[in-house]
Amino acid sequence: MISGDDDILKDFFPRHLVTHLAHPAVAETDEVLKRYLLAQHLYQWLNFTKAFEVGVVCRATKLIAEQDCGIEVPSRVRMDAYKILVDESYHALYSDDAVEQIQTRSGIEALPYDFQPFLANLDRIAADYPHHRRLVQLVQVFVFETLITGLLVDIPKDPNVVSLVREIARDHAIDEGRHHVYFADFFGRLWGQLEPGDRRVVAALLPDIIVKSLQPATRSASSALQEIGFSPDAVRSIIAESYDQESVTAGIRSAAERTIGILEGYGVLDQPGAREGFAESGLLSL
């Protein structure tokens, strides 16, 4: 729940995590408009979390729980998958509830959110490997559950952020810590039972999965900027300058560092051409 009357007047999101807020054209706008952008960024994050947990994480975790993941796993691993399904469904529930609470208390309505373009882009990675769809879904969840972004670490520490948002991030971080361990272990089991040809496919697709999992939400940011009066041309300029390719790639590389370390430990990068593929995506230096 949101705390007292003054709590809703705090920032909806840490300002340093909303990149376009620092753009000179946006920095000159009225504080009320900046507050609107912060609210929309929060709504996007919560709606993405809700959709991703159900549409991607639960989709793959269900395969493990129901012994339909294509490999042999101990009963303990299968039962823990059911626990993760409960966790992730709850993350989706409290994300949805938080949107409702913030809208009601702030009076700022959330803009429409469409998860399908992101999901279609993520799933398109395996378009040339239709027989590997299940395998790719399992790799997707491993990647996302082991990535380390600044959000869940930074939000709880920011006293200027609405308490409800800080509590959500703190609780989510605790669960994700356990999930990180689980999926790192599961990937080791998966990798250990794959045929050589399947290993080559996974190693080749991993850089694209990592990069597409961490692309900034520029579509939602663009919609919010237009809502506060920026022209389409101005919005394109703000987005291009705020999310330049070099900065985005550096952020992705940082967030993926631990995931890549896990892959290195399992020998994934020793596959022919794998290290070069990661380097071409900006995830490694040769």
Separation CA 59–CA 18 (nearest Å): 29
Give me the pLDDT at residue 3, please.
57
What CA–CA distances, in Å, run from 89 to 1, 33, 78? Answer: 19, 33, 17
Answer whether residue 21 is part of any domain.
Answer: no
CATH of the domain at 80: 1.10.620.20
Answer whether residue 17 is part of any domain.
Answer: no
Give me the pLDDT at residue 5, please.
67
Answer whether residue 24 is part of any domain.
Answer: no
The tokens for 202 are 């996974």
Answer whether residue 218 is part of any domain.
Answer: yes
Domain count, the chain: 1
Answer whether residue 139 is part of any domain.
Answer: yes
Torsion of CA 67, 71, 74, 75, to 10 degrees: 0
Give me the pLDDT at residue 11, please.
95
Entry pTM: 0.93
Answer whether residue 258 is part of any domain.
Answer: yes
Answer whether residue 4 is part of any domain.
Answer: no
Give me the pLDDT at residue 50, please.
96
pLDDT tops 70 at residue 236: yes
pLDDT in tens, 153-206: 889 999 999 999 999 999 999 999 999 999 999 999 999 999 999 999 999 999
Answer whether residue 10 is part of any domain.
Answer: no
Burial group, residue 106, by CB count within 10 angstroms (0-12, 13-18, 19+): middle
What CA–CA distances, in Å, run from 279 to 29, 100, 250, 254, 282? Answer: 40, 42, 12, 14, 5
Domain of 73?
29-280
